């Protein structure tokens, strides 16, 4: 076999890995924009349950359409796969978000971010324990650099004063575990179900959970909000929900749950920039010091593209 014939598959595999990294980064940045949109909407006095319901109602038609399109002519799912997809959809896109919301009632945003971005470690550990995935040296190096940057960026925000700090921290950590389980399980299911089909199905299940919660907690009249809230909710639904959800799942299909989780490290940095632009929040020296470390961690992770081709051919 010629060297050219051998190099071509390797080049395609490396390109697929790089595309997965870019999709994961884009998904993380767009997901981070959700916090900015929500803060802007809160200025109009809307409550969290109503805002979440509006977001999912506006996003639901996209997920329903994609689910219908991806199931045409596709092999039917087994009963166990139906149960698993619904379960991880509720766990990753509904329960995790709600636990995070509850935890923020008791702890600062800085502490919440520190706990939330333990997610890559949890994903790596779950993958190692339950899926026998090997944790490589590049994984460890990327985590060390990125976590160092995250700590520098957010450590100055952490304040342990106040009531129920342990409760709030526990809720957010359980949120992190829920989303890590979702990523690991999705990484296995996506091979059989398909990235788009799995994402659409899981989000439909999560939408049902969110709407059930809204009906139980708020009157339907709460959906009638000022126009700015409705426009912000529409932006949130499309650009901070639909697009990043599909980008993240396509990334999981290409590079795996662990790598997608680590690329999520760019999320906090993008939140700083977006907060400065849209909310007028100051950028501190701590943040400027931590940003290069986070980017260095992402750079180390991207070097795995060079090793993707041999692994893909095994």
270 Cβ neighbours under 8 A, 6+ residues apart: 28, 29, 32, 33
Token duo for residue 225: 């909000």
**Is the distance from CB of 120 to CB of 258 less than 8 angstroms?**
yes
Sign for the CA dihedral angle at 115, 268, 264, 197 comes to positive
In angstroms and rounded to an integer, the radius of gyration of the C-alpha atoms of the chain is 20
Sign for the CA dihedral angle at 33, 38, 44, 50 comes to positive
pLDDT at 210: 92
pLDDT at 314: 32
CA distance 41 to 236: 10
pLDDT at 206: 94
Other C-beta atoms closer than 10 Å to the C-beta of 121 total: 17
CA distance 308 to 56: 36
pLDDT at 303: 59
CA distance 223 to 215: 11
pLDDT at 286: 73
CA distance 206 to 90: 5
pLDDT at 85: 93
pTM, two decimals, is 0.74
Per-residue pLDDT of the chain (314 residues; tens, 9 = 90+): 555 555 667 677 777 888 888 898 888 888 878 778 877 888 898 887 898 899 999 999 999 999 999 988 888 888 999 999 999 999 988 998 888 777 766 776 556 666 777 777 777 777 777 766 777 777 788 778 877 877 776 666 665 555 677 788 888 889 888 988 888 888 778 888 888 899 899 999 999 999 999 999 999 999 999 999 999 999 999 998 899 888 887 888 888 877 787 777 777 777 777 778 887 777 777 777 777 877 677 667 655 544 443 333 33
pLDDT at 8: 66
**Is the distance from CB of 101 to CB of 175 less than 8 angstroms?**
no
């Amino acid at each position: 076999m010629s060297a050219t014939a051998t190099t071509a598959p390797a080049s395609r595999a490396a390109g697929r890995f790089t595309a997965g990294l870019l999709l994961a980064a884009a998904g993380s940045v767009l997901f981070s924009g959700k916090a900015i949109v929500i803060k802007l909407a809160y200025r109009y006095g809307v409550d969290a349950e109503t805002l979440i319901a509006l977001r999912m109602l506006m996003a639901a038609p996209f997920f329903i359409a994609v689910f219908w399109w991806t199931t045409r002519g596709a092999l039917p799912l087994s009963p166990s796969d139906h149960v698993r997809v619904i379960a991880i959809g509720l766990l990753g896109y509904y329960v995790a978000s709600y636990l995070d919301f509850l935890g923020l009632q008791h702890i600062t945003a800085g502490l919440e971010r520190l706990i939330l971005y333990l997610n890559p470690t949890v994903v790596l550990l779950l993958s190692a324990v339950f899926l026998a995935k090997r944790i490589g040296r590049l994984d460890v190096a990327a985590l060390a650099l990125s976590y160092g940057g995250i700590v520098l960026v957010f450590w100055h925000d952490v304040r342990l004063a106040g009531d129920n700090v342990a409760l709030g921290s526990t809720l957010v950590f359980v949120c992190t575990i829920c989303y890590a389980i979702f990523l690991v399980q999705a990484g296995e299911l996506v091979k059989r179900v398909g990235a788009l089909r799995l994402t659409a199905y899981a989000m439909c299940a999560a939408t049902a959970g969110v709407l059930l919660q809204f009906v139980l907690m708020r009157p339907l009249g709460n959906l009638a909000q000022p126009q700015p809230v409705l426009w912000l909710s529409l932006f949130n639904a499309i650009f901070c929900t639909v697009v990043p959800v599909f980008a993240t799942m396509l990334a999981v299909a290409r590079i795996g749950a662990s790598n997608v989780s680590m690329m999520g490290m760019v999320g906090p940095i993008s939140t700083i920039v977006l907060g400065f632009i849209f909310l007028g929040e100051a950028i501190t020296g701590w943040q400027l010091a931590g940003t290069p470390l986070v980017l260095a961690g992402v750079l180390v992770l991207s070097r795995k593209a060079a090793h993707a081709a041999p692994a893909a051919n095994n």
